Amino acid sequence: MAKTRLAVVGVGLIGIRHAELIHATASTELAGVADPSDAGAREAERLGVPHYTDYGRCWTASGRTG
The sheet that has 28-34: what strands, in order across it? 4-9, 28-34, 51-52
What CATH superfamily is the domain 4-61?
NAD(P)-binding Rossmann-like Domain (3.40.50.720)
pLDDT in tens, 10-61: 999 999 999 999 999 999 999 999 999 999 999 999 999 999 998 888 777 7
Strands (E), 1-66: 4-9, 28-34, 51-52
The domain locations on the chain are 4-61
Cα–Cα separations (whole angstroms), residue 44 to 1, 10, 16, 40, 62: 25, 11, 10, 6, 16
pLDDT band, very low/low/confident/very high, at 4 (cuts 50, 70, 90): very high
* Inter-residue contact 57 to 36 (CB < 8 Å): no
The pLDDT value recorded for residue 1 is 79
The pLDDT of residue 64 is above 80: no
Residue 33 φ then ψ, to 5°: -125, 130
State pTM to two decimals.
0.83
